[in-house]
């Protein structure tokens, strides 16, 4: 079935155009979302790797 | 709500860190040896130390043993801290560690013995492939188990890279390892010829992407802020970086096959997406470097930051050069040359090596509750390593340019100006300089090992590091209402993130692979091409065992400089019975795909020449750097698997008649007698069951069936 389906395509370049379009749309979507993202949220996330220094306490050998 | 007290598992991090150092030294030492074999062929001391067998040992050791263990070191350290949770299961952590080390040991034994599938960076045979899959599943359960039991609601960007790495490597490894076993240590790729090439380079390119790049980007997003003691420059850029990179990377594989017989549309896809790849790659590099804003003064003193900066710059250089090399104009000259070797080593030595060193220097003193033994020594390591990279890369660029220009140069009368050996002679000195660069780099690693061992001795290991955090408030999450943004939503759901990542990376793979595998029209058949005879098939397996494809390509590109030197350019229909394909990626020696085209007589050599050449390449080709293969003349051909091989090939679609396997040995001996008679005429007495006879038969098969251009038939 898949052979027939793909065989009917007018050139596999249709796949390329479709995929490129998916990516461009997705990319635009991510950009729009990033523009709307709140700065307080990104500030919180940015500091996640630095938090464990504050949380880590005395080390213990067990 | 009370804070919970818990402990990070440093034991597993320590185990992977020591393994990183051990296999780093081993892998780089083997690299130094193979580099020296290229100007001192006498260093090919035995069969199991010959270049074709241990070059894959070097690549596997540095990629999967050194870098692989470095990834697990960084992931096991950062994952626990980013999620505020101990690893899901100590037992799984230990199982993961030991299974991975056993796989490395299995590779170190099988590759020198010539047990290989021949597919670059996927040479290990099928039982080891299964072990890799199981180990990856163990790692996955442990990682996702930890993510699920986390105390941090949002999953930091570094972990997205780990998730994408896990899911994509699983997909690549499984698809590229579709092979039909013939025996416990022998298999044939399910794909053939051009399809196999596409699957292999879809895998090969994305092994670079998702094993050498994305996990390191994940670690960069954790360790760089820690090292610089400031947050990442832009979290928004990291989101854009992540999704763009994983979507685009997977498409770029066909740039390894430009000017090949791969259909044009697939080649074009590879080029377009490779160029697009510059944007997310540089986005990541810039995000990393700008994390140091306001802290550049520290770089002057701090060796760790120096390693990170040069590592990121090397990443930027390699990811600019990659798209450049994928442009057809550059690819025409650079492909098959040492330019590509320089390119990958800028990435490998600079990006993977230096980032690994920085992480080890930063992490080990902290796990032992002490300071680095010697900052001065670390700085010396940095400068020795940087010089090593320069001494490695610069000669290799010159070598690549020399090969590219000399192979294509014609004299005034329209003939090729240089024979192949002249180009080899020209670059031998550059190979020596390259080895010096490798020696410098390795010396730096020894210095690091000493420095870290002294650091460990002055500290006390913190096996279980105490931490505190609030439990994740699931009840609150469930009633928090609709999240403000979809990404915020996805960031709290690891399995959804995994699914989205899988969809993103699958799109590119499916677009390229599905039409090539399922649509027959993509590969034109050529009626004159016949399957390999039993003797030729055995010879082909010897070619794979000796790793000849590490130095000899089997692909003539459609350039006058190549058709003049080697003969008719390659067509996809020529390779339909090639399980696996053997196009190679480097021409340390000349292309061999027209080795049996006696009529064209461009590269054809008779049986006696091959016999003498294998015994001592310098006798037939003065100045050659090829290893001698005396064991091919001494060894008797192992025909015990012949029947199974014929049956396996028939299962894969090669048109051997049913029951032919019973006649195969008689046919083999008959053909062997013909070659023996040819050798006898020149005074060489050889038994027909010797390996050299099968090798000659295979080399004489290459290109023999191809009719002149114009007789290529469509399969409509």
Average pLDDT estimate for B406-434: 96
Q: Check residue A59 and give its pLDDT.
A: 36
Average pLDDT over residues B154-164: 92
Q: Which residue has the higher pLDDT, B320 or B601?
A: B320
For residue B218, the model assigns a pLDDT of: 97
CA angle B420/B396/B543 to nearest 5° reads 50
Alpha-carbon distance of B640 to B25, in angstroms, equals 38
- H helix runs in B111-154, sequence order: 126-148
Compute the average pLDDT of residues B358-364: 98
Do A48 and B487 lie within an 8 Å CB cutoff? no
Separation CA B220–CA B285 (nearest Å): 10
Mutation choice for B interface testing from A5, A9, A12 by most B CBs within 10 A: A12
Quick check: A7 contacting B, CB < 8 Å?
Answer: yes
| Partner-chain contact A2 B515, CB within 8 Å | no
For residue A40, give the chain B residue with the closest CA: B235
Nearest by CB to residue A26, choosing from B158, B226, B247, is B247
How does residue A4 score in pLDDT terms, banded at 50, 70 and 90?
Answer: very low
Compute the radius of gyration of chain A from its Cα atoms: 24
Helix axes B68-83, A48-55, angle to 10 degrees: 70
Per-residue pLDDT for B504 more than 70? yes
pLDDT band at B518 (very low <50, low <70, confident <90, very high): low
Please state the rounded mean pLDDT for residues B570-592. Answer: 95
Rounded to an integer, what distance in angstroms lies between the CA atom of residue B257 and that of residue B240? 29
Task: Give dist(CA B341, CA B402) in Å, integer.
Answer: 14
Taking only the tens place, the pLDDT of each residue in B369-386 is: 999 999 999 999 999 999
B575-589: average pLDDT: 96
Q: Checking DSSP bridges between strand B464-470 and strand B3-9, what pairing results, if any?
A: antiparallel
Name which residue leads in pLDDT, A47 or B537. B537
Q: Which residues of A touch B464 (CB under 8 A)?
A: 60-62
Mean pLDDT of B383-390: 98
Handedness of CA B620, B623, B626, B630 (dihedral sign): positive
Q: Which of B465, B470, B504, B510 to mutate to test the interface with A (most CBs of A within 10 A)?
A: B465
Give yes or no for residue B394 having a pLDDT over 50: yes
**For range B286-311, the mean pLDDT:** 94
CA B506/CA B518 separation, integer angstroms: 17
Query: Looking at beta carbons, which residues of chain A come within 8 Å of B465?
Result: 56, 59-60
Check if A55 contacts B (Cβ < 8 Å).
yes
For residue B561, CA distances in Å to B9, B260, B338, B406, B556 come to: 59, 15, 18, 10, 10
pLDDT score of B521: 63
Model pLDDT, residue B41: 96
The proportion of chain B whose per-residue pLDDT surpasses 70, expressed as a percent, equals 94
Residue B475: pLDDT above 50? Answer: no
pLDDT at B265 over 80: no
Distance from CA of A3 to the nearest CA of B (A): 6
Which residues in A lie closer than 8 A to residue B243 (C-beta atoms)?
26-27, 30
**Across chain B, what does the average pLDDT equal?**
92
Domain B3-463+471-480 classification at class level:
mainly alpha
Per-domain boundaries in chain B: 3-463+471-480, 534-701
Of B230, B248, B469, the CB nearest to A55: B469
* Residue B711 predicted with pLDDT over 70: no
The answer, yes or no, to whether residue A61 has pLDDT greater than 70, is no
The CA distance from B266 to the nearest CA of chain A, in Å, is: 8
Q: Which residue of A has its CA nearest to B84?
A: A52
- Record: contact A50-B231, CB cut-off 8 A: yes
- Best residue in B78, B279, B517, B519 to probe A by mutation, most A CBs within 10 Å? B519
| Class of B534-701 in CATH | mainly alpha
Give me the pLDDT at residue A58, please. Answer: 36
Of B154, B243, B507, the CB nearest to A19: B507
> What three-state secondary structure class fits A4?
helix
Rounded Cα gap, residues B466 and B369, in angstroms: 13
How many beta-carbon contacts under 8 Å exist across A and B? 127
Find, in chain B, the residue whose alpha carbon is nearest to that of A50.
B226
- Mutation test of the interface with chain A: which of B241, B511, B513, choosing the one with the most A Cβ atoms within 10 A? B511
Q: Point out which residues pair with B469 in neighbouring strands.
A: B4
Q: How confident is the model at residue A7 (pLDDT cuts 50, 70, 90)?
A: very low
Q: How far is B152 from chain A (nearest CA, A)?
A: 9
Asked if A36 has any chain B CB less than 8 Å from its own CB, the reply is yes
**Minimal C-alpha gap between B74 and chain A (Å):** 13
Residue B458 · residue B451 · CB < 8 Å? no
Nearest CB among B78, B236, B369 relative to A37 is that of: B236
pLDDT of residue B372: 97
Q: Which residues of B touch A56 (CB under 8 A)?
A: 465-467
Per-residue pLDDT, A35: 87
Which of these, B188, B251, B196, lies nearest to B523 by C-alpha position?
B196
pLDDT mean over B422-433 = 97
Residue appearing with tokens 């802020």: B225
Q: Which has more pLDDT, B472 or B468? A: B468
The pLDDT of residue B713: 43
Question: With an 8 Å Cβ cutoff, are A12 and B515 in contact?
Answer: yes
Q: Do B465 and A56 touch (CB under 8 A)?
A: yes
A40 touches chain B (CB under 8 A): no
pLDDT at B231 over 70: yes
* Minimal CA separation from B464 to chain A, in Å: 6
pLDDT of amino acid B132:
97
Nearest CB partner across the interface for A61, out of B239, B463, B521: B463
Q: Do B519 and A26 touch (CB under 8 A)?
A: no
Residue B670 C-alpha, separation from nearest chain A C-alpha, in angstroms:
41
Burial class (CB in 10 A: 0-12, 13-18, 19+), B634: exposed
Taking CB atoms and an 8 Å limit, are B514 and A2 in contact across chains?
Answer: yes
The CA-to-CA distance between both ends of chain B, in Å, stands at 73
Chain B residues touching residue A58 (CB < 8 angstroms): 466
Q: Say yes or no to pLDDT of B623 above 50.
A: yes
B271-280 residue pLDDT tens: 888 888 898 9
Residues of A with CB below 8 A from B265's CB? 11-13, 16
CA–CA min distance A26, chain B (Å):
9
């Amino acid at each position: 079935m898949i052979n027939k389906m793909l065989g009917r395509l007018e050139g596999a370049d249709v796949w390329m155009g479709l995929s490129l379009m998916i990516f461009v749309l997705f990319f635009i979507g991510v950009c729009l979302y990033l523009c709307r993202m709140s700065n307080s949220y990104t500030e919180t996330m940015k500091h996640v790797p630095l938090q464990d220094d504050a949380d880590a306490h005395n080390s213990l050998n067990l | 709500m009370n804070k919970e007290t818990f402990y990070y598992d440093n034991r597993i991090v320590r185990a992977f860190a020591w393994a990183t150092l051990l296999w780093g030294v081993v892998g780089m030492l083997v690299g130094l040896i193979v580099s020296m074999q290229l100007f001192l062929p006498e260093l090919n001391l035995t069969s199991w130390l010959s270049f074709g067998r241990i070059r894959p040992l070097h690549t596997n050791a540095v990629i999967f043993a050194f870098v692989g263990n470095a990834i697990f070191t960084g992931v096991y350290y950062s994952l626990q801290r980013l999620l505020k949770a101990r690893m899901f299961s100590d037992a799984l952590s230990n199982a993961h560690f030991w299974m991975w080390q056993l796989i490395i040991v299995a590779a170190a034994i099988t590759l020198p013995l010539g047990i290989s599938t021949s597919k670059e960076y996927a040479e290990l045979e099928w039982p080891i492939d299964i072990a890799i899959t199981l180990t990856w599943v163990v790692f996955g359960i442990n990682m996702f188990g930890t993510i699920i039991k986390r105390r941090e609601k949002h999953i930091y960007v570094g972990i997205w890279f780990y998730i994408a790495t896990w899911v994509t490597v699983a997909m690549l490894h499984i698809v590229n390892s579709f092979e039909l076993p013939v025996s416990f240590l022998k298999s044939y790729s399910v794909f053939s010829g051009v399809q196999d090439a596409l699957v292999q380079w879809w895998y090969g390119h994305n092994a670079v992407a998702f094993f050498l790049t994305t996990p390191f980007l994940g670690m960069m997003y954790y360790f760089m802020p820690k090292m610089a003691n400031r947050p990442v420059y832009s979290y928004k850029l990291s989101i854009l970086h992540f999704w763009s990179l994983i979507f685009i990377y997977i498409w770029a594989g066909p740039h390894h096959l430009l000017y090949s017989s791969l259909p044009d549309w697939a080649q074009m896809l590879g080029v377009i997406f490779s160029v697009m790849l510059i944007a997310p790659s540089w986005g990541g590099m810039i995000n990393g470097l700008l994390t140091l804003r306001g802290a550049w003064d520290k770089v002057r003193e701090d060796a760790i930051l120096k390693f990170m900066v040069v590592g990121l710059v090397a990443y930027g250089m390699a990811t600019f050069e990659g798209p450049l090399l994928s442009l057809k104009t550059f690819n025409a000259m650079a492909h098959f040359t040492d330019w590509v070797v320089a390119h990958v080593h800028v990435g490998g030595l600079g990006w993977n090596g230096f980032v690994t060193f920085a992480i080890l220097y930063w992490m080990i003193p902290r796990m032992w509750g002490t300071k680095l033994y010697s900052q001065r020594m670390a700085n010396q390591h940095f400068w020795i390593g940087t010089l090593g990279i320069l001494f490695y890369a610069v000669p290799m660029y010159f070598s690549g340019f020399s090969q590219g220009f000399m192979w294509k140069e014609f004299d005034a009368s329209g003939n090729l100006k240089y024979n192949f050996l002249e180009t080899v002679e020209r670059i031998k000195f550059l190979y020596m300089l390259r080895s010096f660069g490798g020696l410098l780099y390795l010396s730096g690693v020894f210095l690091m090992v000493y420095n870290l061992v002294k650091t460990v001795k002055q500290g006390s290991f913190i096996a279980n590091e105490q931490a505190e955090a609030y439990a994740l408030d699931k009840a609150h999450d469930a009633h928090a209402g609709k999240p403000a943004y979809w990404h915020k939503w996805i960031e709290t759901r690891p399995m959804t993130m995994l699914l989205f990542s899988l969809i993103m990376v699958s799109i590119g793979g499916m677009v390229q692979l599905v039409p090539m595998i399922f649509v027959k029209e993509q590969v034109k058949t050529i009626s004159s091409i016949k399957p390999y005879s039993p003797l030729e098939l055995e010879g082909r397996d010897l070619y794979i065992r000796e790793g000849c494809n590490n130095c000899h390509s089997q692909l003539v590109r459609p350039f006058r400089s190549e058709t003049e030197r080697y003969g008719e350019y390659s067509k996809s229909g020529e390779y339909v019975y090639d399980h696996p394909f053997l196009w190679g990626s480097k021409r340390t020696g000349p292309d061999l795909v027209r080795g049996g085209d006696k009529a064209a007589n461009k590269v054809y050599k008779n049986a006696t020449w091959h016999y003498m050449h294998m015994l001592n390449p310098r006798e037939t080709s003065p100045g050659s750097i090829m290893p001698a293969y005396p064991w091919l003349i001494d060894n008797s051909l192992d025909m015990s698997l012949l029947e199974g091989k014929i049956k396996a090939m028939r299962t894969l679609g090669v048109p051997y008649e049913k029951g032919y396997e019973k006649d195969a040995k008689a046919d083999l001996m008959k053909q062997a007698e013909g070659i023996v008679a040819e050798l006898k005429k020149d005074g060489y007495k050889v038994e027909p069951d010797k390996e050299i006879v099968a090798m000659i038969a295979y080399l004489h098969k290459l290109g023999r069936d191809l009719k002149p251009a114009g007789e290529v038939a469509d399969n409509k």
